[in-house]
Amino acid sequence: MKKTESLLIVESPTKARTLGKFLGKEYKVVASFGHVRDLPKSKLGVDVDKNFEPTYIIPTKAKKVVSALKKDAKSADEVILATDEDREGESISWHLAEALGLKNPKRIVFHEITKTAIEHALKNPGKIDMNLVNAQQARRVLDRIVGYKLSPFLWKKISKGLSAGRVQSVAVKLVVEKEEEIKKFIAVEYWTVEATLRPQMTNNKSQITNEFVAFLNKKNGQPVDKLEIKNQQEADEILKHLENANYQIEKITKKETRKNPLPPFTTSTLQQAGSNKFGYSAKMTMSLAQKLYEEGHITYHRTDSLNLSEMSLNMAQDFITKNFGKEYSSGFKVYKAGKGAQEAHEAIRPTHADHTPESLKGELEGPKLKIYTLIWQRFVASQMVPAIFDSTAVEITANNYGFGANGQILKFDGFLKVYPMKFSENEMPVLAEKEMLDLVRITPAQHFTEPPARYNEASLIKALEKHGIGRPSTYAPTLSTIQDRNYIIKNEQKRFEPTEMGIIVTDMLVKNFPQIVDIEFTATMEKELDEVAEGKDTWEKTIKDFYGPFAQNLKEKYDQIPKEDLNIKTDKKCPKCGKDMVDKMGRFGRFYACTGFPECKHTESIVKTTSDGPAITLDIVCPKCAQGLPAGRQGKMAAKRSKRGKIFYGCDQYPACDMATWDKPINEFCPTCKSILVENKKGQIKCSNKECEYKKSE
């Protein structure tokens, strides 16, 4: 038999290395490093008058890869394209075929990297599916048109350098809308009544441990609404009827309740867990996962799939049975991703179940081990049985009122053995129906309804994914983009607030291009792309149907909408030349500028005392000013944001005074060197003077 060499191309170099190990010498496996061709960056690259014909170029970054691939292809007898089995993967194969001038490339797909899966795929090669490629072209062209037509509109009508797009504009809109909800929110007062009870006639000394708490939940046989008791008077009125009432157990319901483990991670849920558990940004979590992937500890980390290979299911079952016992294994538990998932990969899981986090302690350091632990625990737990609780619900009557008490005891830990999860255990005393109870005390409690919480990285990604907006590879970059554009900022609690610019741009888009920023726009687009992928519609027609009305509307808005005036008049006078000062919008927020510009370049920073301003003044006199200036001219310390968005503390008289520190100053001074004390991120209070070692013990 003739010895032939085949060139197999995949996207990721790590995957190429792994595959290389499975395949014989007659195969050379290489990576394309993602897409090798794209629309040009500097212009639209879509001829709207010529049936939306796209112009594809090889970006400078991809030139080296492409020429290397060309060389490899030339010396191989056949080229096999083995990119991911989804829209983008198919498109990458097509672009490879075009860029490398491949006449008759083989196209194969496989879902798991095992010898049998690969061998099976190699025996059953297919062709590039042009319907799928066309669906990708439609997606690409639509995104390009939206982004490259709307962004210039914003430059003209608001300010240069702005951007808009199908994904980022909706992400910003979510943050803006949340802020509106919070602004509109009015807290409502309500009260609850809780009774501490215990069984009568218990003579043993541990009577106190028989106490339990029940909450008022019924009145005249009707359930009590959460907001029904509006104030203290109403609560007191109820209390009057209850202080001397007879408390009797009406009903006891005992049952087993189960808590199921969560499915293994996808990109989105891993990013959410990284953010919620460790406060890592999506970017940080992804770079740690990238390293874990490259080092062979985990499967591919950009995925929307919950699939688990048979090999991994066996591996999990073996591990669980061996380490915890057969009763902990759930057998092969399969999870299904929500609709819209493209499922070209497996879920994110450890490559070896028996590589426990404990066993990798020497190899993986801090943050990487933390992320690995999350992935390992979640995967192993997903193949374990539910935790079982014995729960007891007790209904109590007292005059016309009803109370409820619940107890739950862990009966079998199940998956909780590896997956730490908060749950409360609350033991109820031994009780019987119709039993009379003693009232130990009855207390009313005041509450207020809470405003909706601002998004953090986790909840924003969750919201985007829920609506199918964005992909595993773009969640983290999208969050970076909309912060870089200064549309939203992270506050000190790491939650997103819209900036003035974010609000202005969102307003402009919502009023004039509602379709584009509609939360359902992507879902509608996906449906149409599916039609293209199934060959029921052409990609050109799909784009045309969108483009016609869009272009018409855009043209009208260019004429109708005036340029936004971002300047605000003030009655301040320039201290240098006496001319009027104006409040302007700059790249980093608002500032005061002299109208005499460019002759007079005087500016002043705007110091606001609320959190929505660029700076928050603390009631602390600047220690540097205090040393050299008379009391009237001393600045105060203010919280500010650096160019990179990090919060620091500086004198509000900057640039006249350049006092600045990363740690938050407090109004106390060092007993040894008299410098101001600061509180660092860990909550420790220490001296701001680097040469001074003073630390306040806490």
What positions carry a catalytic annotation? 300
Least separation in angstroms between CB 207 and DNA? 60
Q: Which residues pair with 591 in a beta bridge?
A: 584, 605
Contact set for DNA, span 506-545 (CB under 7 A): none
- Interface with DNA, residue 103, by CB under 7 A: no
For strands 53-54 and 46-47, give the pairing: antiparallel
Cα separation, 491 vs 495, in Å, equals 5
593-614: string of b/e by CB count within 10 Å (b at 16+)? bbebeeeeeebbbbbeeeeebb
Contact set for DNA, span 339-368 (CB under 7 A): 342
Which residues, in sequence order, are CB contacts of 256 under 8 Å at separation 6+? Answer: 388, 389, 390, 391, 411
Cα separation, 614 vs 606, in Å, equals 7
- Interface with DNA, residue 587, by CB under 7 A: yes
**Nearest to DNA of 392, 478 (CB atom):** 478
In the shown chain, the binding pattern of residues 628 to 647 toward DNA, with x for contact by CB under 7 A and - for none, equals ------------x-xxx---
- Interface with DNA, residue 613, by CB under 7 A: no
- Interface with DNA, residue 282, by CB under 7 A: no
Residue of 605, 621, 665, 676 that binds DNA (CB under 7 A): 605
What's the Rg (C-alpha) of the chain? 32
Cα separation, 554 vs 146, in Å, equals 10
In the shown chain, the binding pattern of residues 655 to 674 toward DNA, with x for contact by CB under 7 A and - for none, equals x--xxxxx------------
By CB under 7 A, the count of residues binding DNA is 86
CB 444 within 8 A of CB 193: yes
Cα separation, 278 vs 289, in Å, equals 14
Cα separation, 120 vs 356, in Å, equals 32
Contact set for DNA, span 359-418 (CB under 7 A): none
DSSP, residue by residue, 97-124: HHHHT-SS-EE---SS-SHHHHHHHHHS
Cα separation, 404 vs 76, in Å, equals 75
- Interface with DNA, residue 689, by CB under 7 A: no
- For the chain, report the end-to-end CA distance as a whole number of angstroms: 79
Give the SS3 label for residue 455. Answer: coil
Contact set for DNA, span 293-312 (CB under 7 A): 293-294, 300, 302
Residue of 20, 152, 357, 404 that binds DNA (CB under 7 A): 152
Least separation in angstroms between CB 437 and DNA? 59
- Interface with DNA, residue 56, by CB under 7 A: no
Least separation in angstroms between CB 30 and DNA? 12
**Nearest to DNA of 214, 286 (CB atom):** 286
- Interface with DNA, residue 471, by CB under 7 A: yes
- Interface with DNA, residue 589, by CB under 7 A: yes
Contact set for DNA, span 26-55 (CB under 7 A): 31, 33-35, 38-39, 41-43
- Interface with DNA, residue 164, by CB under 7 A: yes
CB 282 within 8 A of CB 401: no
- Interface with DNA, residue 490, by CB under 7 A: no
- Interface with DNA, residue 502, by CB under 7 A: no
The structure tokens listed for 261 are: 């483990």
- Interface with DNA, residue 584, by CB under 7 A: yes
- Interface with DNA, residue 650, by CB under 7 A: yes
Residue of 461, 594, 618, 687 that binds DNA (CB under 7 A): 594
Contact set for DNA, span 428-457 (CB under 7 A): none
- Interface with DNA, residue 140, by CB under 7 A: yes
Phi, psi torsion values for 239, nearest 5 degrees: -60, -35
| Stretch of 155-163, 178-186, 500-508, 546-554 contacting DNA, by CB under 7 A | 155-163
Residue of 137, 169, 281, 299 that binds DNA (CB under 7 A): 169
